[in-house]
Amino acid sequence: MSWSVPIFGVRHLSPAGAWHLRRALDEQRPKVVLIEGLADANDLIPHLVKSGTKPPVAILAYTSELPVRTIVYPLARYSPEYQAMLWAKENKARVEFIDLPSDVFLGLQEAMLEKTAKMAGETEEEQAADLAKPEPKRSIYERLAEHAGEHDHETYWERRFEHNLNPQAYRKAIFEFGNALREEDDAPAWRAENLVREAYMRKRIAEVLAEGVAPEKILAVVGAFHAPVLNGEHSSMTDDEFASLRRRPSKLTLMPYSFLKLSSQSGYGAGNSAPAYHELVWEMLNADRQSELPMEYLGRVTRHLRDSGTHRSTAEVIEGVRLARTLAAMHDGSAPTLRDLQDAAVTLIGHGELSTISEALARVNVGTAIGELPAGVSKTSIQDDFDRLLKSLKLEKYRTTVAQEHSLDLRENRQVKTVEAAFLDLHRSSFFHRLKVLGIGFATFIPQRDGSTTWAEKWKLQWTPESEIALVEAVLLGETVELATAYKFKTMLEACTEIAGASNIVMNACECGMSTSMELARSRLQALAAVSSDLKAIAHAAFQLSQAVRYGDVRKFDPTPLLPLLEELFVQGSLALHDAANCDAKAAEDLTHSIEEMNRVSLEHHGRVDGNLWIFSLDKLSKADDRNPLLSGYACAILLERAFVANEELAREVSRRLSPGVPADLGAGWFEGLAKRNRASLLARQALWEELAKYVQQLDDDQFKRAIVFLRRAFGSFNPQQKRHICENLGEFWGVGADTASESLSTPFTEAEEVSLKEFNDLNFDDI
């Protein structure tokens, strides 16, 4: 079948393309408008052109089975496709998408991913052969820009198309541009996919013609690359060929989009790195004020600077416009491009410094706009649930691309009348934690300095298109946010093989306010803990349970079922301490954190856990000579902190540990562990520093070099005031007095002392 249907080639996010297209539609008055877009998304077109829809928005296709794959089809107000849909609505014309349906696109995507994975598994010989191949030549876009003497393709495109207001010249230029791309395109995989798409689009055009619609009553709006081949001279896809294409079952929805996501800065350029600027171009074209674009652009940059407190004069804006037009004239351009305008802005408004105006440029170029969809527009159930929760939790104002911090007080508010209002922040917290579990990045937890406060939280809230995509993907886990979170917990527990992971889920479920999931996690944790003797994992699990129990009152759940398991884990951890301390220095550093977790549980739940057993285990470790010395010293420090070690006993232990008969690394390692905590108490014990001074004096050169490794590490984290206090203590022992010792610390080093110090700084301690 041969035909010649009018084809209008566009760039998918082009204000000039949309402007020319509207005029072509007004001139031709087609009855049917066919648009390059997902063929199964036709039912979404009425929602896209609904009065309450505010671009940027996007069509999102996603697989209905795991693993999740997605396709995003974004539309701005200045997208030619969006304006074609609006025109069709305004003129009561039929409008349809004619590109491959989403299930086929997703099938092609999966095939490409499989091919990529296969290539990643090539043998070393194959990889070496690939490396030996000549480097691929630069893209056609880069070559076109270079040939035209432009800095980049965006500037090349804008100068030749966005400022071309001659209808015939524009359509001819865009057609030839598409031909040039096809002649130069040398990517086989990309070309193969396009051939399939184009054969299907020709099939759809042929089907409309077969209905009896005259060719001149049809207008097809497609990317410039496809425009030259969508005619009857090329074969269309057959029904059998279409049926044979690989597919992945899919669903479709609409989602608000943002200028930030449209920009290439966030990964989806589509030839639109400056969406706010391009919307400005669209507005000026439609107001017939395109000649005023340079003044408006630079004026907006200046206004942003003024808003931030930096004054710029009108004269500087006028000079900037003149410079931009001069730069455009040097490139045979009739109007300045974005690059010309930016160069003029840096020179005249930024006074030569990009940093001065970088934020203002970002605002004017990219912008912060985010789209909106009216109530009732096609969405997934989880999107509807999310919207309902935002409204009920009074969080709708935070659905913006501008990040905002929000503090929560989880305690009951007794100054309000309803239960919902009394626990509003608690419900908000549960909601945020559920989103966190689902990987929906709307709310980011901000850790507080004082982690002991159970009722206060701080979050950063920011809505992005990625958040919407993650929300839509979560519908595969459940119809609502709560159901999806419960399913996610269930799958996490099924895959969980370590008690640390199970204890984390207990805590996460507690934060999410999901008691059923918490009970499932508790059961899984108990089963795993029964066969574990790993102190690090047990201590972490006990600490997480302890935190969950502490949250019980403020989060309004009964922690009673957790208490027996907490007791069991604490006993296991206490009994495992001595054996675990038989380890190397690297493992010992990690275990100090585990000992601290166990000690905090002992203190916070002293009436519930076996505190006597814990003290016994610490005492046994602190006196042991066959365990890691750092851990023995650390255990002694905790006992000292908790008043289980008297001054006389400490002096004896220090004397025993820091004696000439004890290897230097063992003695100094023990002291390093002792010095890790409760430093104020240590500084007040003069006897300790006297024993340390005697110990150092009795070391020979080799022993001293070994001991200095640990002593340097022990004192490395002391602040200057604490170090000065130590020196004053040692001065008292040496009989020089605190004042004299303090004065000596302020005296510059002698040349001999500098040489001695350099010898130690140059010493390779790793070899000792």
Q: Rounded to 5 degrees, what are φ and ψ at 699? A: -80, 140
pLDDT: which is higher, 202 or 746: 202
Q: What is d(CA 63, CA 65) in angstroms, rounded to the nearest whole number? A: 5
Are both 84 and 222 inside the same structural domain?
yes
In the predicted structure, residue 119 carries a pLDDT above the cut 60: yes
Q: What is the pLDDT of residue 269?
A: 38
For β-strands 443-445 and 456-461, DSSP reports them as: antiparallel
Express each pLDDT in 685-727 by its tens digit: 666 667 677 767 777 777 777 666 666 666 666 777 776 766 7
Q: Per the domain annotation, does 376 fall within a domain?
A: no
Give dist(CA 538, CA 519) in Å, integer.
18
Cα distances (Å, whole numbers) of residue 66 to 63, 282, 474, 475, 691: 7, 40, 11, 11, 66
201 lies in a domain?
yes
- Residue 105 and residue 437: Cα distance in Å, rounded? 30
Domain boundary among 645, 667, 696: 645
| Residue 345 and residue 438 in contact, taking contact as beta carbons nearer than 8 Å | no
Say whether both 13 and 148 belong to one domain. Answer: yes
Q: How far, in Å, CA of 647 to CA of 110, rounded?
A: 70
Q: Residue 265: what pLDDT?
A: 46
Residue corresponding to tokens 């010649």:
4
3-state secondary structure of 97: strand
In angstroms, the Cα distances linking 21 to 157, 264, 375, 531 are 17, 25, 30, 71
Q: Is 71 helix (H, G, I), strand (E, B) or coil?
A: strand
Q: Are 517 and 471 in contact (CB under 8 A)?
A: no
Helical packing angle, 535-550 and 499-512, nearest 10°? 10
Residue 523 near residue 561 (C-beta atoms within 8 A): no
% of the chain at pLDDT higher than 90: 54
**Mean pLDDT for the stretch of residues 638-664:** 82
Give yes or no: residues 752 and 676 share one domain. Answer: yes
Residues 314 and 408 reside in one and the same domain: no
> What are the tens digits of pLDDT across the range 568-624?
999 999 999 999 999 998 899 899 999 999 999 999 998 899 999 999 999 999 999
Give how many domains the chain has, as a whole number: 5
Length of the chain: 768
- How far CA 434 is from CA of 37, 157, 321, 438, in Å, comes to 34, 45, 51, 6
Q: Give me the pLDDT at residue 487, please.
A: 93
Lowest mean pLDDT among 54-58, 126-130, 153-157, 644-648: 126-130
Nearest to 473 by CA among 74, 68, 110: 68
Under 8 Å between Cβ of 32 and 217: yes
- Global pTM value: 0.67
**Lowest mean per-residue pLDDT among 69-73, 277-281, 763-767:** 763-767
Same domain, 131 and 200: yes
Q: Is 146 exposed, middle or buried (0-12, 13-18, 19+ CB in 10 A)?
A: middle
Rounded average pLDDT over 504-508: 94
* Of 135 and 233, the one with more pLDDT: 233
- What average pLDDT score do residues 496-523 get? 93
The full 3-state SS of 564-613, as one line of letters, equals HHHHHHHHHHHHHHHHHCCCCHHHHHHHHHHHHHHHHHHHHCCCCCCHHH
At 229 the three-state DSSP class reads helix
- H/E segment holding residue 733: helix 720-734
C-alpha–C-alpha distance, residues 76 and 268, integer Å:
13
Boundary-marking domain end, from 645, 673, 704: 645
Clarify whether residues 106 and 225 are in a common domain: yes
Q: Which two tokens stand for residue 454?
A: 């159970």
DSSP-derived secondary structure letter, 159 = I
Q: Are residues 139 and 253 in the same domain?
A: yes
Q: Beta partners for 221? A: 8, 35
Domain boundary among 313, 333, 365: 365
pLDDT confidence bin for 441, thresholds 50/70/90: very high
What percent of the chain has pLDDT above 70? 84
For residues 160-170, average pLDDT: 92
In a domain, 486, yes or no: no
The verdict on 315 and 448 lying in the same domain is no
Mean per-residue pLDDT for 5-16? 94
Helix pair 15-28, 80-90: axis angle to 10 deg: 30
Mean pLDDT over 73-83 rounds to 95
Long-range pairs, 638-641, Cβ under 8 A, ≥24: 638/595, 638/599, 638/677, 639/615, 640/674, 640/678, 640/681, 640/682, 641/677, 641/678, 641/681
Shared domain check, 685 and 708:
yes
Query: How confident is the model at residue 319, as a pLDDT?
Result: 95
Identify whether residues 112 and 206 lie together within a single domain: yes
Side by side, the strands of the sheet bearing 404-409 are 404-409, 456-461, 443-445
Do 116 and 234 belong together in one domain? Answer: yes
DSSP, collapsed to helix, strand or coil, labels residue 105 as helix
Integer Cα distance of 212 and 246 in angstroms? 31
> Minimum mean pLDDT among 160-169, 353-362, 509-518, 666-675: which range?
666-675
CA distances (Å), origin 220, targets 83, 137, 188: 13, 33, 26
The answer, yes or no, to whether residue 134 has pLDDT greater than 80, is no
Has residue 688 been placed in a domain? yes
Burial string for 265-294 (b: 16+ CB within 10 Å, else e) reads eeebebebbbbbbbbbbbbbbeeeebeebb
**Residue 673 belongs to what domain range?**
649-768
3-state secondary structure of 466: helix
Within-domain flag for 22: yes
pLDDT at residue number 188: 55
Residue 757's pLDDT band (cuts 50, 70, 90): low
Q: Tokens 């999310």 map to which residue?
A: 386
Average pLDDT score over the chain: 86
Q: Are residues 308 and 357 both part of a single domain?
A: yes
Lowest pLDDT segment from 95-104, 260-269, 389-398, 531-540:
260-269
Average pLDDT of span 36-50: 96
Q: Which of 44-58, 70-84, 248-262, 297-311 has the lowest mean pLDDT?
A: 248-262
Which are the contacts of 630, defined by CB distance < 8 A and separation ≥ 6? 585, 588, 589, 592, 669, 670, 672, 673
pLDDT digits (tens, 9 = 90+) for 463-489: 887 888 888 878 878 889 999 999 999
pLDDT value of position 375: 76
Residue 268: per-residue pLDDT: 41
**Dihedral angle, C-alpha 341, 345, 346, 351, nearest 10 °:** 150
Does some domain include residue 263?
Answer: no
Rounded to 10 deg, the angle between the 102-120 and 188-210 helix axes is 170
**Sorting pLDDT into bands at 50, 70 and 90, what band is 681?**
low
- End-to-end alpha-carbon separation of the chain, Å? 87
Residue 484 is assigned to a structural domain of this protein: no
Tell whether 621 is covered by a domain. Answer: yes
C-alpha atoms less than 13 angstroms from C-alpha of 647 in its C-beta half-sphere: 9
Question: What is the token pair recorded at 93?
Answer: 């014309």
